[in-house]
Amino acid sequence: MKQQGFITHNQCPACGGSHLGSFLQTKDYFLSKESFSLDRCDQCGLILTNPFPAEQIIGRYYQSDDYFSHPGKKKSMLSSLYKTVRYFNIRRKFKIIKSWRGSGKVLDIGCGSGEFLAYCKENGMEVSGLEPNDEARDYASRLLGKAVLRPDQLVSLPDKSFDVVSMWHVLEHVEDGRMQLKELHRVLKDDGVAVIALPNTASADCVYYREFWAGWDLPRHLYHFNRNAICQLASTQGFHLVKEHGLFWDAFYISMLSSRYQRKKFSFFAGLWQGLKSNVNAFGSKEYSSLVYVFKKT
Ligand SMILES: [Zn+2]
């Protein structure tokens, strides 16, 4: 039984549905090795870590040197792959943003060590970032030559001031997703775009690895979205989906990590093979391992 410091949901935060059924029991393979339960909303398909650790205690599940990327430190095969994926993803992410806004102001919520924003800046955009991790925030501030703020400082940013607000694999970590999207809506210009990347629970790699799927990343990921669930949640705050994109490289990284959790022999190659299969599948189904959703104000 989970004790103090955990929040239990009886209602779906995305669609308001009141039937949350047991979906899966799995654990934190990455750090604590503690077990967690996943529940699924019958109505919209949102999966929740239920109960999940509240803000006051969640810090202990992030206490690892591996969780935040420390540029230039690690040398394992997986970390090299992570860096390769990050290199391609930064360019891919910028290309997505550029297809909507080639210039103007971008706010990245959960900007990590700031590499994506640095690339946007090099390419002529005016950049701002928010980041909860002290070390990552300091690094990003130095890299960008501009103070990166804490997430609670989002409320101090003026209304309708950004052309693009991005959250790359961040919303699944946020305790109050509705409030987060409400604030995002407030700071976004009327013709701006919100770009939200999330692991996809309808991907073939999620289905294949099931309890070992690295995309669960429990209990750091509180919510686990499919297309319908994120659209439901976004619609409650005045957004509608205008476009989606797959992040091709994520399937390889997630699959290799999942194979390692599964304790498969030759997990690197097993993961490479499953990542490839997931992408081939997504070519038809569009259910990539991670999806980038582009929303506009309704
Ligand atoms: Zn729901």
pLDDT in tens, 167-200: 999 999 999 999 999 999 999 999 999 999 999 9
> What is the whole-number distance in angstroms between the Cα of residue 44 and the centre of ligand 1?
4
Centre of ligand 1 to C-alpha 230, Å, is 9
Residue range 235-242: mean pLDDT, rounded: 98
Tell me the range of 61-70, 73-82, 159-168, 262-271 where mean pLDDT is highest. Answer: 159-168
Q: How far is CA 260 from the centre of its chain?
A: 21
DSSP string, 228-288: HHHHHHHHTTTEEEEEEEE-TTHHHHHHHHHHHHTT-TTHHHHHHHHHHHHHHHHHHH---
The rounded Å distance from CA 40 to ligand 1 centre is: 8
Expressed in angstroms and rounded, the spacing between residue 224 Cα and the centre of ligand 1 is: 11
Using the mean position of ligand 1's atoms as its centre, give its distance from the Cα of residue 233 in Å: 8
Q: What is the mean pLDDT of the chain?
A: 92
219 CA from centroid of ligand 1 (Å)? 19
Domains of the chain: 7-61+75-297 (3.40.50.150)
Cα angle 80-117-84, degrees, rounded to a multiple of 5:
15
Mean pLDDT of 12-34: 95
Tokens of 61: 């599940």
Q: Would you state the structure tokens that stand for residue 95, as one six-digit string?
A: 């290309």
What gap in Å lies between CA 114 and CA 132, rounded to an integer?
A: 12
164: pLDDT strictly greater than 90: yes
Q: What percent of the chain has pLDDT over 90?
A: 83
What is the tens place of the pLDDT at every residue in 44-73? Answer: 999 999 999 998 899 889 887 655 554 555
Say what the pLDDT of residue 2 is. 56
pLDDT reading at 90 higher than 70: yes
pLDDT digits over 112-156, tens only?
999 999 999 999 999 999 999 999 999 999 999 999 999 999 999
Question: Which residues partner with 188 through β-bridges?
Answer: 162
Alpha helices in the chain (DSSP H): 55-58, 77-98, 115-122, 134-144, 177-187, 204-209, 227-235, 250-261, 267-285
Report the pLDDT value the prediction gives residue 79, as an integer from 0 to 100.
77
Confidence label for 17 from pLDDT (cuts 50, 70 and 90):
very high
Cα of 192 from ligand 1 centre, angstroms:
27
Report CA(225)–ligand 1 centroid distance (Å): 10
41 CA to middle of ligand 1, Å?
Answer: 5
Q: Using omega within 30 degrees of 0 as the cis cutoff, is the peptide bond preceding 53 cis?
A: no
pTM score, whole prediction? 0.92
Measured in angstroms, how far is the CA atom of residue 157 from the centroid of ligand 1?
30
Is 93 within 8 Å of 166 (Cβ atoms)? yes
Check the CA dihedral 212-213-219-222 and report its sign: negative
**45 CA from centroid of ligand 1 (Å):** 6
Q: Ligand 1 mean position to 18 CA, how many Å?
A: 8
